[in-house]
Amino acid sequence: MSSDQLNLFNLDEPSLSPGINDLIPTDVKIPIPAGTYPSMVELAQHCNQCHRCGLGDSRTHAVVGRGNLNAKIMIVGEAPGQNEDETGLPFVGRSGQLLDKILESVRLDTEKDVYICNIIKCRPPNNRVPSAKETAACKPYIFEQIRLVNPKIILLTGATAVKGLIGDKGSMTSIRGQWIEWEGRLCMPIFHPSYLLRNPSRERGAPKWQMWQDIQAVRAKYDEIRLE
């Protein structure tokens, strides 16, 4: 476990009770200990009560995740948009529809093979990029989600997801498609589906062409892990 995680979770302190009546700390500087949540149900309940940053004041729903809670692949995005805020589910707008098609192209089932979530659980106003304080406030939740799901592969969609989870590793164009080992797991930065929607060309070397190469590599690694 990295020093960042240790600082966030403050493992020397006793774990909080997972009961919904034991409210989470409202101050971003107060840690949420590792092992706080026995299941995703309690985590989701607390996310919907959370006010560790100002985003909780304007949300309709906290957006926790969807997919298989025992999946070997976790997909981490940036933050909910309007559709996600209204439904409480990540990646259900145009970007989500494209993500589903990308996964289907290599026979990955969104209900069986993957678990999908975001770094930030509440929608930033006007879909702006989350601030450093907002990311810090939500970071313990993504750590707990990783602990609960225990994926072997983590796909990080876009620069905010990369920086928010594993730190700044360079520009997306320089790191996308590369395997990065982090906390005993294999992470791959990939383009966010919204970026692909803005760059629809399928020509060789274009973002959509690069995504096709990347998702095939993910499928190959997934098959390798399953055989092991």
- The whole-number pLDDT of residue 5 equals 41
- The whole-number pLDDT of residue 31 equals 82
User: Sign of torsion, CA 175 179 185 187?
Assistant: positive
The crossing angle, in degrees rounded to 10, of helices 159-166 and 132-149 is 70
Distance CA(15)–CA(36), nearest Å, equals 6
Which pLDDT tens digit goes with each residue over 115-171? 999 999 999 999 999 999 999 999 999 999 999 999 999 999 999 999 999 999 989
Bridge partners for 118 per DSSP? 77
First to last CA, the chain: 24
Distance CA(49)–CA(26), nearest Å, equals 10
Mean pLDDT of the region 77-85: 96
Q: Residue 183 in contact with residue 147, Cβ under 8 Å?
A: no
Residue 221: pLDDT band with limits 50, 70, 90? very high
- What rounded mean pLDDT belongs to the chain? 90
Residue 24: pLDDT band with limits 50, 70, 90? confident
Domain of 168, CATH number, reads 3.40.470.10
Look at the chain and report how many structural domains it folds into: 1
DSSP output for 76-132: EES---HHHHHHS-SS-SHHHHHHHHHHHTTT--TTTTEEEEES-SSPPGGGPPPPH
Distance CA(166)–CA(142), nearest Å, equals 11
Distance CA(113)–CA(94), nearest Å, equals 21
| Percent of the chain whose pLDDT exceeds 90 | 84
What's the number of CA atoms in the CB half-sphere (13 Å) around residue 126? 1
Measured CA distances, 71 to 74, 148, 152, 163, 205 (Å): 7, 10, 8, 23, 31
Distance CA(211)–CA(101), nearest Å, equals 12
- The whole-number pLDDT of residue 7 equals 41
Give residue 67's region: left, alpha or beta (phi > 0; psi -120 to 50). left
Distance CA(90)–CA(80), nearest Å, equals 6
Among the listed residues 160, 158, 161, 168, the one whose alpha carbon sits nearest the alpha carbon of residue 193: 158
- The whole-number pLDDT of residue 23 equals 59
The pTM assigned to this predicted structure is 0.89
Enclosing domain of residue 193 = 3-227
